[in-house]
Amino acid sequence: MSDVSSARGAGLVTDRERFRAAAERLDATDPLAGVRGRFVLDDAADGVVYLDGNSLGALPANVPARLAEVVGEEWGRLRIRSWEERGWWSAPERVGERIAPLIGAAPGQVVVADSTSVNVFKAVVAAIRIAQAGPEGPGPEGPGAVGAESFPGGSVPLRDELLVDAATFPSDGYMAESAARMTGCRIRAVEAAELPAEFGPRTAAALVNHVDYRTGRLHDLPGTTAAAHRAGVPVVWDLCHSAGALPVDLDRHQVDFAVGCTYKYLNGGPGAPAFLYVRRDLQPRFDSPLPGWTSHADPFGMAPSYTPAGGSTRGRVGTPDILSLLALEAALDVWDGVTLEAVRAKSLALTDFFSECVAAYAPEGRVENITPEAHPERGSQVALRCPDAVKVMPRLMERGVIGDLRRPDVLRFGFTPLYTGFADAERAAYILAEVLTA
């Protein structure tokens, strides 16, 4: 018997047999099981369970060959000709169009450029400027620009408050503070669930994380956005932990601005560029605080004054990161034939199953599951509060279970339905129990 079995007795053996049999059945009937082969993963014999796709997604198998082609042919032989001949120049918009269906956006509203933090800054400042100008106020194209009707709250004397969800990712908070200083706003932190009741005539904008990065709690995007619009407030949503993990439906819910990274559930690779969504009718009023040459209406005219381009191109700043951008473009091929509904169904089943295994295997009182049990409130991760998490996670990784730590006491496990199986979830829970018992 293992240490865990010795500590818990024969009942645990029965639990293990039951859960392993259930995992085998679930994996055998998984409609996404075949997608796993599109990734570079450890062999089953290696015993490695990768549950950190919510920090860095696994490598899609087609990316190395594509990068070799970009480096050897497009950069190595064609060199500068590739900007036109191989479509480098249009890649930010082209890759944006590949991401758009994964976040519920129609064409022409998503651009891939810069980092999440930079895009948060652009979107928050632009949102505040729109709100402060009022429905009849100017955008960069002048008074009466399209999009004014989106905020029925009317013209107000002063909108000087930026609401930020109290559990926001730290970098989002840093960018929000800088945006507030630039626009003459003060920041007020509010629990995400309480935001609808807090929007008022002085609220300029709100910044909300769709999924809490610590707990995996999924916040109410439709309800919060609708409440904000009733108060004349634009909202910026951070989709880093939801894009590629669950349906988002930005257009359906009339979201104003959204940003997100592409190296988590979208598997774009380390440092892959982020995306920026600006709803179509707001684009003429999108006044970016970072007007760069590639977002100019005539980028090669080198004019001394700035005239913004139209459409999603307005979200660009400088020269695109071509190697990372084209790696991401290739990585998105793994989504061919995959529906987000299937991804969401498997995500919920995986996180349910893992949580049940942990509850059955782990020594009583050693961990507390702080991820919401209710499906509508859960992202695609399970977070366990553990007093000695800083010691437990390194031991787990030594045993081949790759999760991550959120200090001071949270063990975080991300489930990527495209390549995580139910046997993976069972094995991870069992090894966790062994480590907790040791």
| Enzyme catalytic residues | 169, 238, 263-264, 412
- The closest of 259, 210, 198, 205 to 232, measured between CA atoms, is 205
| In contact, 228 and 234? CB cutoff 8 Å | yes
The residue ranges of DSSP E strands in 66-166, in sequence order, are 110-112, 161-165
Cis amide bond preceding 408, omega within 30: yes
CA distance 371 to 359: 13
CA distances from 315 to 142, 257, 290, 411 (A): 18, 11, 9, 36
Q: Which two tokens stand for residue 312?
A: 């999603």
3-state secondary structure of 267: coil
- The closest of 249, 219, 246, 254 to 377, measured between CA atoms, is 219
CA distance 191 to 168: 9
- The closest of 403, 418, 400 to 346, measured between CA atoms, is 418
Quickly tell me which residue has 């009182």 as its tokens.
Answer: 365
β-strand pairing of 401-402 with 49-50:
parallel
Instruction: Read off the DSSP letter of residue 76.
Output: I
Q: Which residues pair with 49 in a beta bridge?
A: 401
| One-letter identity of residue 83 | W
CB neighbours of residue 349 within 10 Å: 16
| Buried-exposed string 114-138: b where 16+ CB fall within 10 A, e elsewhere | bbbbbbbbbbbbbbbbbbbbbbebb
From the number of C-beta atoms within 10 Å of its C-beta (0-12, 13-18, 19+), residue 202 rates as middle
3-state secondary structure of 238: strand
Within 278-339, where are the H helices? 322-331
| In contact, 256 and 150? CB cutoff 8 Å | yes
Q: Who contacts 90 (Cβ-Cβ below 8 Å, separation ≥6)? A: none
